[in-house]
Structure 1
């Protein structure tokens, strides 16, 4: 049997498509698993009477997010719909379908982030509605601008400044947007009852440090799928991304260890702060730049979260605004600093553009959240009653507690 050049080319093309599809599928599964990390991080942080609610919210949010993104969000971001026969959709080994799976796990991270900030006093179904609107409209609006060139924003950046806004794996697009949306939601919901006594702030201790640690570990491991698999193709795999993710994670751990004075909550959030910050420039930075990025992020999280809890009316239960909002914004800017050739990076990035793009992401997130959460607060309400909050969301919403003797 004679094998022609055309046959060989076709076989190679099929193998490449299959490999890319499998590569992205593994990434989607790893990022999907990260949602278990979000769940256990919240379960371990909230009080016992809200643990069931934390678990249910994350899973329910994912289901709502998938529907919102399938019918609206993915179309807004990429001008792609799935209203075709299965034979058409499955062409190219179904790569485009797996791409949707991968990207919907990113989109669903937005409400998972918000969930940690508004825990213990939010009504269930109004928050599900907020999740739908956020994933259908707010997140994909900015996602499409950055990752699909919508509205000519990236073309304008390149023409004006010689480089587009660089966010390889979503420091700003995912984490920054999610964190700033969470801040607005937290402000609309107000402080939990009992947080201020006799004019002094009272901090509620985490209910389960092992669960909190488990959540941090799941997120940290899954993050390598979040970052490395953002290449979306086998030929885009970069050991530099993996190494930079590792170094930023380590930087976050060490900074939180020192700044947090051995506090286990801070130490287990430290690696997450570093990983949030390195997403944007993980494919550009030198490992030393990634390490410094993580160090700054870890220290920033500890100091800002401590200040919020002790000095302000912002009751961000898991500290998702400093962890995702501020560290995400720092990551967008850090890509412009440590991605430059002057600091041993690969170059092709503009600090001016990184600052502008980061600020735009914040504006989109804040404006969108004001509209969504503001409208829901005025119409159907966002918060549990004082009695419901006292009983806890587990019994109030789900009619069951996390332990049989509660």
Structure 2
């Protein structure tokens, strides 16, 4: 009996370590979000990007601990520490840490779309609502305690449950479609569109943008591979599919974006976003194709959004996370089929329905939250504050203080 107990303890410890390492890798991705935004916005808004991402992370940590995680999985932490540790050496705690990193992606994604003209505290409040209530509600219906409700419907109609292994839809699509109402309510940055003409605003730092992309790409292997939850479920297929989807995204963006470094580095992210849902199902060559298509969606979708629809989404988070996340959910229903070398057990109809449900849920939440905020406290900086930049207007210091020393 003692040997069996020791084996069980070792197994629990290994799973806790496995998931903790994944959590740390995904936590590091938030530095990637920060540098991607800092490199894309102008110098007068760099401090704001850094502070905003870290503050959103911190608020999300509390909101998801107290409300979000219990809402999604029915596990409360309002018990003595001894009970929190339990027989599994605190697996639920580290599971919370890992899934928090997913939940906190929602305000981090939105941050890139609303950059350079959004008020600070209203967005922090919105992020708290999303991390505590909106995201966990949808999470509970796909992965959590209420999954039988919605998944049962998908299985009855489509023949299989909605499959989203690592969050193309649950995380990225939700985040991108939540961002769209915020961007629409805010309106374009001053000077972005003048006299019916588009005037793209310069970005500040391509090396920072590239650094953000690299940090995100490396951390993504924790995002996808460690979604197995337990060491015994780890899959080399997930790792290689993530790799090939990323490379497909890079090469596709290189050609379609005509060597533009912004498209190339976001192309890597496009491929990784798209592969999350079906990374455990697809053949690696299908994963590559998924990444290629995802990158094309971003390159042409970003142009369509900015130049045709005249939506000033600074980092292009709606096409990158929203539309491509949706593509990832649908792609799992296509390339997960045995016809394309996939593992099977997935339904195109269920994938389409689940993806559409996420879009409707996110848009409803986004318009509600940002609509209320815009009508009450307001969500946009005034003209003078925007002209001075969010750094000086909100944080009272610039990214390069010595530039102001005379």
TM-score (norm 2): 0.97
1:190-209 → structure 2 map (5 Å cutoff) = 190-209=187-206
Question: d(CA) in 2 for partners of 1:307 and 1:368?
Answer: 24
For 1:370, the equivalent position in structure 2 comes to: 367
Contact 1:165 1:354 (C-alpha < 8 Å) held by counterparts: yes
1:135 to 131, 144, 151: 131
Bigger Cα displacement from structure 2, 260-269 vs 146-155? 146-155
RMSD of aligned alpha carbons: 0.9
Q: Does 1:58 align with 2:53?
A: yes
CA deviation string 1:340-372 (max 9, x = no partner): 111110000000000000000011100011111
Q: Mark the runs of 5 or more structure 2 residues left unpaired by the alignment.
A: none
Q: Give the equivalent residue in structure 2 for 1:103.
A: 99
Question: Please, which of 108, 123, 126 is the counterpart of residue 122 of structure 2?
Answer: 126
CA displacement, residues 284-313 of structure 1 (integer Å, 9 cap, x when unaligned): 000011000000001110001012222223
Distance in 2 separating the partners of 1:332 and 1:105: 20
Aligned to 1:3: none
Q: Return the alpha-carbon distance in structure 2 between the equivalents of residues 160 and 16 of structure 1.
A: 39
Could you say which residue in structure 2 is the equivalent of 1:314?
311
The match for 1:39 is 34
Match of 1:331 among 313, 328, 332: 328
Aligned to 2:378: 381
**Which runs of structure 2 are paired with 1:251-400 in the superposition (5 Å)?**
251-400=248-397
Q: Distance in 2 between matches of 1:246 and 1:170?
A: 16
Matched residue, 1:228: 225
Contact 1:134/1:372, CA 8 A, preserved across alignment: no
Kindly indicate whether the alpha-carbon contact (under 8 Å) linking 1:252 and 1:297 is maintained by their aligned counterparts in 2: yes
Alpha-carbon deviation of 1:7? Answer: 2.2
Q: CA deviation at 1:79?
A: 1.4
Q: Report Cα offsets for 1:22-78 as digits up to 9, x if no partner.
A: 000000000000000000000000000000000000000001111111111112211
**Cα deviation 1:262-285 (Å, max 9, x = unaligned):** 001000000000000000000000
Q: 1:27 & 1:267 partners in 2: Cα distance?
A: 26
1:191 CA drift (Å): 0.4
CA distance in 1, matches of 2:195, 2:133: 42
Structure 1 contact 31–105 (Cα < 8 Å) conserved: yes
- Select between 180-189 and 190-199 the one with higher mean Cα deviation: 190-199
Superposition pairs of residues 20-35 of structure 1, within 5 angstroms:
20-35=15-30
Describe the SS at the equivalent of 1:93: coil
Q: Which residue of 1 aligns with 2:155?
A: 158
- CA apart distance, 1:108: 0.2
Shift of 1:206: 1.5
Contact 1:169–1:230 (CA<8 Å) still a contact in 2?
Answer: yes
Counterpart in the other structure of 1:213: 210
Query: Post-superposition shift, 1:149?
Result: 5.0
Secondary structure in structure 1 of the residue aligned to 2:203? coil
Contact preservation (8 Å) 2:169, 2:326? yes
- 1:149–1:94: structure 2 CA closer, same or farther, 3 Å change rule? closer
2:14 and 2:182 mapped to 1: Cα distance? 41
- Contact 2:73 / 2:145 at 8 angstroms: preserved in 1? no
Whether the 8 Å CA contact 1:107–1:139 is kept in 2: the answer is: yes
Deviation readout 1:365-385 (Å, 9 max, x if unpaired) = 000111111000011000000
Cα distance between partner residues in 2 of 1:387 and 1:161: 54
Which residue of the partner structure matches residue 145 of structure 1? 141
**Runs (4+) off by over 3 Å:** none
Query: What residue in structure 2 maps to residue 84 of structure 1?
Result: 79
Could you tell me whether the CA contact under 8 Å between 1:201 and 1:311 is conserved in 2? no
Q: Does the aligned pair in 1 maintain the 2:373–2:379 contact within 8 Å? A: yes
Q: Residues of 2 paired with 1:210 and 1:169: CA distance? A: 29
